[in-house]
Amino acid sequence: GHELPAHLKGHGIQGTDKLRFSCKWNSCGVELNRENVVRHVKEKHLVINYACDICNQTFTRKYNLFTHCKKCH
């Protein structure tokens, strides 16, 4: 996952953060800003999840796991 931004750059996904892209992964077609491409691929295509060590609840974003742990545990 940490090498994904460099990998996507190799596919020509570069430019300003607000540059619009259409996701080509398996004909996904979702329109998004370049700044959201990495998050979209991780969440929707690679299905990378972060699990709470205490209650095993899973989150698609590391920040949401952090907020959960801070609030609930």
Over residues 35-50, the pLDDT tens digits come to 898 889 988 999 989 9
Average pLDDT over residues 52-70: 95
Q: Is 65 helix (H, G, I), strand (E, B) or coil?
A: helix
Mean pLDDT of the chain: 88
Q: Is 11 exposed, middle or buried (0-12, 13-18, 19+ CB in 10 A)?
A: exposed
Q: How far separated are the first and last CA of the chain, in Å rounded?
A: 27
pLDDT at 2 over 70: no
Q: Going from the N-terminus, what domains does the chain have, and what CATH number goes with each?
A: 13-72 (3.30.160.60)
pTM of the complete model: 0.66
